[in-house]
Amino acid sequence: MDELFDITGKVSVITGGAGILCSEMARGLGKKGSKIAILDLNEEQAKAVAEEITSHGGTAIAVKADVLDKNSLEKARDVVLQTYGEVDILINGAGGNKKEATTSDTFEFFDIPPEAIQWVFNLNLLGTVLTTQVFGEVMAKRGEGVIINISSMASLRPLTRVIGYSTAKAAINNFTAWMAVHFNLNYSKNIRVNALAPGFFLTDQNRFLLTDEATGEPTKRGRQIMDHTPMGRYGVPEDLIGTLIWLVSDASQFVNGIVVPIDGGFAAYSGV
């Protein structure tokens, strides 16, 4: 079992690595012996995460990168290769939502500006595609690697209000399956592409929907979520780590092109 889940020495590149969920992924992989490259627009925050990992005996670097700028990604790739020599694991974690692409009691669907929808699609889908082009090419030339995209349960069961985010993450699911097949048929049978679909985790992108800014108490929507999650709580970042390590290790060596829900039973519950 130790050998199946062993990722010691594997090089992991994580976009959005300074964020709440992806920084925890970086820590989790670092504790298992993976060499981490934290890519983020916020270089200072990325450095803080890298320093935390190294202070606990791990290996990590911070690299500034814009997932919507291919040139920026190529420069980041060069830094990673110069430092570690290879790329074994890519986690496409950069993503998020935008308040202007979300309906509310005072903001109707008809009022959503197209540029807000475009912003959400670009960050979630295009940012994943461009990063996979840049770092996936390294894997294609080498003939092996693992790519993990970050989807959402909103992609499988579209949620009210978050039109931009739900549809963008649905596109991630399709891209995950397409890329898994494409790599295997055109480059190598030893490249796998899968996705994680977190349920309700309290992060900066959804906090304005789930908690009252003034009181910190759950909003009506937040209470609905709790009522429809059989495990009765939001996910915490640590809840992602076990599944992530399974997917990037040899323990899942015949798992390819799937989206794994991590949602506390939300999708399984009909509300009755």
> What angle (nearest 5°) sits at the alpha carbon of residue 182, between those of residues 10 and 167?
90
84 annotated active-site:
no
Q: Please state, as a whole number, how many other Cβ atoms lie within 10 Å of the Cβ of residue 212.
A: 12
8 to 31, 74, 92, 219: CA distances (angstroms): 9, 25, 20, 43
Q: How far apart are CA 125 and CA 118, in angstroms?
A: 10
The b/e string for 175-208 (b: 16+ C-beta within 10 A; e otherwise) is bbbebbebbbeebbeebbbbbbbbbbbbbebbee
Q: How far apart are CA 209 and CA 34, in angstroms?
A: 35
- Spatial CB neighbours of 201, under 8 Å, sequence gap ≥ 6: 20, 21, 234, 235, 236, 237, 239
Residue 197 tokens, joined? 């679909």
Of 84, 165, 187, 234, catalytic: 165
| φ/ψ (deg, to 5) at 194 | -135, 175
Q: How far apart are CA 33 and CA 104, in angstroms?
A: 44
Closest of 35, 39, 32 to residue 6, by C-alpha: 32
4 to 48, 125, 260: CA distances (angstroms): 31, 31, 19
Q: How far apart are CA 88 and CA 57, in angstroms?
A: 20
Catalytically annotated residues: 165
